[in-house]
Chains A and B, each alone.
Chain A
Amino acid sequence: MYVAVKGGETAILNSHELLAAARRGDERVPEITPAQIRQQLRLAVARVMSEGSLYDEDLAALALKQAAGDQVEAIFLLRAYRTTLPRFGYSLPVDTSRMALRRRISAAFKDLPGGQVLGPTYDYTQRLLDFSLCEPSASPLPPRADEPLAEAMPRVSELLGHEGLMEEELPLPGDPAPVDLSREPLSFPADRATRLQNLARGDEGFLLAMGYSTQRGYANSHPFAGEIRMGEVALEIVPEELGFAITIGEITLTECQMINQFAGSSTVPPQFTRGYGLAFGEAERKSMAMALVDRALRAAELGEETTAPAQQPEFVLSHSDNVEASGFVQHLKLPHYVDFQSELELLRKMRNRHEGRMKVGAGGTAPTEVAAEENA
């Protein structure tokens, strides 16, 4: 006897309860707070803010707690919340040359004005599990520099720009306002501002793999890490009633300027080209990968052959968003039995036809011929 599937709502509510219990874990262990996540898992928070397209450390920490540490789920939570927020206005472009630097390195020059600043980095840690972290300990006071860093440090790209060795990055004629991808659908061909916006909220893992592929021969861009800088920049808006810019706060950014070779053309002398990456928080892997992909996506505009996946804007931009990708991959969990039934019916029909032909084949036609036709 067929039992109709009923009681879906109760089952859903019960699964919520199970989820809450699983999130909490063993109650003998103290519950984690968003404040702890914000302070002590800051890199996880940064990624959620970047790909969630919302700079709010408290909400990102809350999302991480609610998602039990699942980054993509936390990003989704933040995005869904972000949709409901009113849009008050747009900030002025941030000026990263006036960034209060905590880290700034260049792999293209041994030394440069302002110097190399390592800052807090995992780069030169030896990856040995530190068992002393199992127990709480007082954090040591970090060493202080003898003198403060220069207030403004020129970007490496500008140093080369003076000689004309670096392509200039100028606003498009008329300096058009960029598309707001969170309000308007992505359409093709997409200009660079739109592409960068898409990459900035793109999945770090996806960008990493795409960027990596350009280093392994799927595209060929000869990258140098011209400069990576991380620190705080002021965010300014111009309220209509005031008519001048006011600072509304500061955000942490990681910026990567990748320098790439370019042979030039009949109209342009040989010069370096650039790839650009920018992400919220401390996000060096993300911004470097983004810069590689940005440069690869410029292949067509620079007259390069486009053969690799990372050079195809539709391929990259349509698949970079992990909220979209995660939803669509996982929608396969939804029932598909109507479609499956339709396929079953067709498959049975085709097999019946095949069997009929095989019988005819035994009576005269060579079976191999039938089989060949079926497999054609």
Chain B
Amino acid sequence: MNTIAGYNFAYLDEQTKRMIRRALLKAVAIPGYQVPFGSREMPLPYGWGTGGIQITASILGRDDVLKVIDQGSDDTTNAVNIRRFFARTAGIATTEKTEDATIIQTRHRIPEKPLSEQQIMVYQVPLPEPLARLEPREAVTRKLHALADYGLMHVKLYEDIARYGHIASTYDYPVLVNGRYLMAPSPIPKFDNPKLHMNPALQLFGAGREKRVYAIPPYTKVESLDFEDHPFSVQRWEDPCALCGAEDSFLDEVVLDDAGGRMFVCSDSDYCTTRQAAGHTGSQSPVAKEAA
């Protein structure tokens, strides 16, 4: 097994891993509750996925297969760097295929392909406290969580509607977990929020800088906050993916020139390439262009 000399399997020492796993067990036992933990300095900067990295390091076994995505893609530099970190320090197998992975560490997206009970999602979280923008004092937000007093957030959403006609949160859209704790789903687009609900996979959230972990156990109820007359809805695009023709995926807008030219493609690179390999095409596919 190729790992770096002088460092333990998956970088962290076993005591630290055990401490993090204990915090994770507590998090699983109280879905959506933020558990403080002794977050360590990692050799990657705070804010660049240290919470997710510490969770992955502490649950990773030698037989695990790891997938790392950022913005839905395996190829973005930070995803590459984190995948390389674990390949170097743990020598484990990595993959870009969603269905082949046992652990998927992610920043800002949930894969389009449905997950299974055999998989664990690890989310990188910048700001774990959903109320932080409304009440910066942690001593106060802890009390609000204890009392399940989420009036502040409902008023904020109401004021959005009064002011803009819509709830103005498009990502990191607040959810209520298991009917009890208000939770920040990390900055995933609200498009992904429905995937949090009753997901067969265990979902773990790590905020390294803020020193918190939390969890959504498999098959847990996760509701996105809304109002009866303003029900929660997700983004929809007018065009399908220009490469694979998907109409059900989150699309990134790619600017093609400085004259307003643009195309829309799947943000989930594995989903897109799998569909293309299966023969699906879009308006900009090489095949479609040749045929035209």
Binding site for B on A (CB under 8 A): 1-2, 4-9, 11-12, 76, 79-80, 82-84, 86, 183-189, 314, 318, 323-324, 326-331, 334-339, 341-346, 349-350, 353, 376
A5-B76, A83-B40, A346-B170 given; A324·B235 CB < 8 A:
no
Check A342 against B189 for contact (C-beta < 8 Å): yes
Check A328 against B209 for contact (C-beta < 8 Å): yes
Check B84 against A9 for contact (C-beta < 8 Å): yes
Q: Does B232 reach chain A (CB closer than 8 Å)?
A: no
A188 to B50, CA, bound (A): 22
Q: Does B252 reach chain A (CB closer than 8 Å)?
A: yes
Check B168 against A346 for contact (C-beta < 8 Å): yes
Check B76 against A339 for contact (C-beta < 8 Å): no
A376 to B165, CA, bound (A): 12
Check A4 against B269 for contact (C-beta < 8 Å): yes
Q: Chain A nearest CB: distance from B189 CB in Å? A: 4
Check B170 against A343 for contact (C-beta < 8 Å): yes
Q: List 17 A-B contacts (CB under 8 A).
A: A2-B242, A7-B75, A8-B76, A9-B84, A12-B84, A79-B41, A185-B37, A314-B137, A327-B209, A328-B209, A331-B45, A331-B48, A335-B78, A341-B252, A346-B168, A353-B165, A376-B163
Report chain B residues within 8 Å CB of A186: 211
A83-B40, A328-B209, A342-B191 given; A2·B45 CB < 8 A:
no
**Which of B65-73, B174-182, B195-203 participates in binding chain A?**
B65-73
Report chain B residues within 8 Å CB of A4: 75, 269
A2-B284, A345-B235 given; A12·B39 CB < 8 A:
no
Check A1 against B189 for contact (C-beta < 8 Å): no
A86-B13, A353-B165 given; A334·B269 CB < 8 A:
no
Report chain B residues within 8 Å CB of A345: 170, 235
Report chain B residues within 8 Å CB of A349: 166
Check A185 against B211 for contact (C-beta < 8 Å): yes
**Contact digits for B245-263, partner A, Cβ 8 Å, 1 yes 0 no:** 0000011111010000001
Q: Does B243 reach chain A (CB closer than 8 Å)?
A: yes
Binding site for A on B (CB under 8 A): 7, 11, 13, 36-43, 45-48, 50, 70-73, 75-81, 84, 107-109, 126, 136-139, 162-166, 168, 170-172, 187-191, 209, 211-212, 235, 242-243, 250-254, 256, 263, 265, 267, 269, 284, 286, 289
Report chain A residues within 8 Å CB of B84: 9, 12
Check B80 against A342 for contact (C-beta < 8 Å): no
A12 to B42, CA, bound (A): 19
Check A328 against B70 for contact (C-beta < 8 Å): no
Chain B residue with Cβ nearest A342: B170
Chain B residue with Cβ nearest A344: B253
A331-B126, A339-B187 given; A8·B211 CB < 8 A:
no
Check A335 against B70 for contact (C-beta < 8 Å): yes
A80-B42, A314-B138 given; A330·B47 CB < 8 A:
yes
Check B265 against A2 for contact (C-beta < 8 Å): yes
A12 to B78, CA, bound (A): 9
Report chain A residues within 8 Å CB of B126: 328, 331
Check B38 against A185 for contact (C-beta < 8 Å): yes
Check B253 against A338 for contact (C-beta < 8 Å): no
Report chain A residues within 8 Å CB of B47: 324, 327-331
Check A338 against B189 for contact (C-beta < 8 Å): yes
Report chain A residues within 8 Å CB of B77: 8, 11-12
A6-B75, A314-B138, A343-B170 given; A84·B37 CB < 8 A:
no
User: Most chain-A CB neighbours within 10 Å: which of B11, B41, B48?
Assistant: B41
A40 to B263, CA, bound (A): 57
Chain A residue with Cβ nearest B7: A84
Check B42 against A83 for contact (C-beta < 8 Å): yes
A189 to B142, CA, bound (A): 12
Q: Chain A nearest CB: distance from B4 CB in Å? A: 11
Report chain A residues within 8 Å CB of B45: 76, 323, 326-327, 330-331
A83 to B39, CA, bound (A): 10
Partner of B252, one of A183, A338, A350: A338
Q: Chain B nearest CB: distance from A18 CB in Å? A: 15
Q: Chain A nearest CB: distance from B161 CB in Å? A: 12
Give me the 4 closest cross-chain CB pairs, A-B, nearest first: A327-B46, A331-B47, A327-B45, A342-B170
Partner of B189, one of A5, A184, A341: A341
A83 to B57, CA, bound (A): 14
Partner of B39, one of A8, A185, A189, A350: A185
Report chain B residues within 8 Å CB of A344: 253
A314-B136, A324-B209, A338-B108 given; A84·B13 CB < 8 A:
yes
Chain A residue with Cβ nearest B256: A2
A353 to B164, CA, bound (A): 9
Chain A residue with Cβ nearest B272: A4
Report chain B residues within 8 Å CB of A185: 36-39, 211-212
A346 to B189, CA, bound (A): 12
Check B139 against A324 for contact (C-beta < 8 Å): no
Check A1 against B48 for contact (C-beta < 8 Å): no
A185-B36, A185-B38 given; A2·B253 CB < 8 A:
no
Chain A residue with Cβ nearest B253: A341
A188 to B136, CA, bound (A): 12
Report chain B residues within 8 Å CB of A335: 70-71, 76, 78
Q: Chain B nearest CB: distance from A281 CB in Å? A: 20
Q: Chain B nearest CB: distance from A272 CB in Å? A: 30
Chain A residue with Cβ nearest B78: A334
Report chain A residues within 8 Å CB of B81: 8, 12
Check A2 against B75 for contact (C-beta < 8 Å): no
